[in-house]
């Protein structure tokens, strides 16, 4: 059997084992570091992340790192997300092909801005006027390889950090993905990705210490450290497929579907449509739903999504292009989630 198909089957079998341990609503709320499953990129956000099989470029490091291999030159992407309750996400990604062998290196950084909080203590429960801001970020290094324009595989190693001034937690995680392209015009695509598989997180630091009187006859204080409970990362498995209808030489309509199995919450299923016009404009719409969710339960990030992109060369005949992206996701509470993106390809 051809090596590339053997590799594809092996990876698909490995990822497929994740279905058996994922999608457990009884464990909902047990995982932490949920910023890892908030999409910071506008193009895939407009499709509600239903594009596991088609995502490409630097933003593929979020959903399916295998798509990183499908860049033709250097790419820089910047993303800004207006999340809920005045929470913002900022992201930057860089993709760089290595030689002519089909390999692409990538680096990404995503940071969450939670705003300022009043600093309170047991002595000043109403606050003393001081404030603090938590630091939430994850940084990933990625590599993806494309085999004969049919099979692409990729892996990301990332560090996850959550901290305040006197306490923090860190973890190491891996993402892996595969994409397969077939059809007479390479118009059928299939993708699988496994995300956020790594070590547990546990808060440590001086913020977990407490001064208490010595229980013995000598009067002095002892320092006691509380041991925080460790928590898991929000692992998930994505399986997606898509089909392209070619409308002339430069227009395309893509239908896609996706299934997401979450280790610590309900599974999700959905689909999307993307229309690309003259390689300069793109319009997207998507829908995502949770399986077995009660009808009266206010799930946050499900429902309708939409978006558009605009990409033009910096000058006529140039290979350098600049693009603007926008994505919107409906929410049952708050006022929806807005994503903005800027791309530079050179």
Task: Provide the CB-side half-sphere exposure for 205 (13 A, CA).
Answer: 12
Place of tokens 């801005």: 113
Buried/exposed 248-265: b ≥16 CB within 10 Å, e otherwise: eeeebebebbbbbbbbbb
| CA–CA dist 270, 103 (Å, integer) | 31
Structural domain count of the chain: 1
Q: Which of 278, 273, 271, 272 is nearest to 310 (CA)?
A: 278
Q: Report CA Rg, the chain.
A: 22
Return the DSSP state at 62.
Answer: H
User: In this structure, what DSSP letter does residue 257 have?
Assistant: E
| Ranges assigned E (strand) in 114-150 | 117-118, 131-132, 135-147
Burial of 17 (0-12, 13-18, 19+ CB in 10 A): exposed
CA–CA distances in Å: residue 152 to residues 180, 185, 289? 7, 17, 28
- CA neighbor of 194 nearest in space, from 157, 142, 238, 152: 238
Neighbours of 296 (CB within 10 A): 5
Residue 233 contacts residue 36 (beta carbons within 8 Å) = yes
For residue 176, the tally of other CB atoms under 10 A from its CB is: 19
CA pair distance 54, 64, nearest whole angstrom: 9
Alpha carbons 133 and 131: distance in angstroms, whole number: 7
Structure letter (DSSP) for residue 75: E
pLDDT at position 20? 43
Residue 223: give the domain boundaries. 3-345
Q: What is the CATH number of the domain that holds 10?
A: 2.40.160.40
Distance CA 341, CA 59 (A): 10
Question: What per-residue confidence (pLDDT) applies to 18?
Answer: 47
**How many whole angstroms separate alpha carbon 173 and alpha carbon 35?**
13
Q: What is the pLDDT along the chain (346 residues), one digit of tens a residue?
A: 454 444 554 455 445 444 444 456 666 667 889 999 999 999 999 999 999 999 999 999 999 999 999 998 999 999 999 998 889 999 999 999 998 888 999 999 999 999 998 888 878 888 888 898 999 999 999 999 999 889 999 999 999 999 998 899 999 999 999 999 999 889 999 999 999 999 999 999 988 888 888 887 888 888 888 889 999 999 999 999 999 999 988 899 999 999 999 998 889 999 999 999 988 999 999 999 998 877 666 577 789 999 999 999 988 878 899 999 999 999 888 889 999 999 999 9
Could you give the angle at the alpha carbon of 228 between the alpha carbons of 203 and 194, nearest 5°?
60
63 in helix, strand or coil?
Answer: helix
């Amino acid at each position: 059997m051809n090596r590339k198909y053997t590799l594809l089957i092996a990876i698909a079998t490995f990822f497929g084992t994740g279905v058996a341990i994922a999608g457990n609503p009884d464990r909902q709320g047990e995982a932490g570091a949920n910023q890892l499953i908030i999409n910071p990129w506008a193009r895939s956000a407009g499709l509600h992340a239903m594009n596991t099989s088609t995502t490409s470029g630097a933003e593929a490091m979020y959903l399916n790192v295998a798509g990183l291999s499908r860049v033709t030159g250097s790419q820089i992407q910047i993303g800004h997300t207006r999340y809920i309750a005045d929470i913002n996400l900022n992201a930057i990604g860089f993709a760089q092909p290595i030689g002519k062998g089909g390999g692409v290196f990538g680096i990404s950084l995503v940071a969450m801005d939670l705003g300022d909080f009043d600093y309170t203590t047991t002595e000043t429960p109403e606050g003393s006027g001081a404030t603090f801001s938590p630091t939430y970020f994850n940084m990933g290094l990625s590599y993806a390889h494309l085999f004969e324009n049919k099979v692409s595989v990729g892996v990301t190693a990332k560090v996850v950090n959550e901290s305040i001034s006197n306490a923090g937690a860190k973890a190491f995680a891996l993402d892996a993905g595969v994409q397969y392209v077939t059809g007479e015009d390479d118009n059928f695509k299939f993708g699988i990705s496994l995300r956020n598989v790594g070590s547990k997180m546990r808060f440590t630091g001086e913020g977990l210490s407490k001064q208490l009187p010595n229980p013995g006859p000598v009067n002095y204080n002892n320092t006691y450290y509380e041991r925080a409970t460790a928590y898991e990362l929000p692992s998930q498995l994505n399986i997606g497929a898509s089909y392209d209808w070619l409308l002339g030489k430069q227009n395309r309509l893509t239908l896609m579907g996706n299934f997401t199995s979450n280790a610590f919450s309900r599974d999700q299923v959905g689909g999307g449509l993307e229309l690309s016009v003259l390689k300069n404009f793109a319009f997207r719409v998507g829908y995502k739903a949770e399986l077995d969710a009660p009808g009266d339960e206010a799930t946050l990030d499900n429902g309708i999504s939409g978006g558009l992109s605009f990409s033009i060369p910096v000058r006529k005949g140039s290979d350098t292009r600049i693009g603007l992206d926008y994505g919107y996701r409906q929410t049952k509470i708050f006022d929806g989630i807005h994503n903005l993106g800027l791309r530079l390809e050179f």
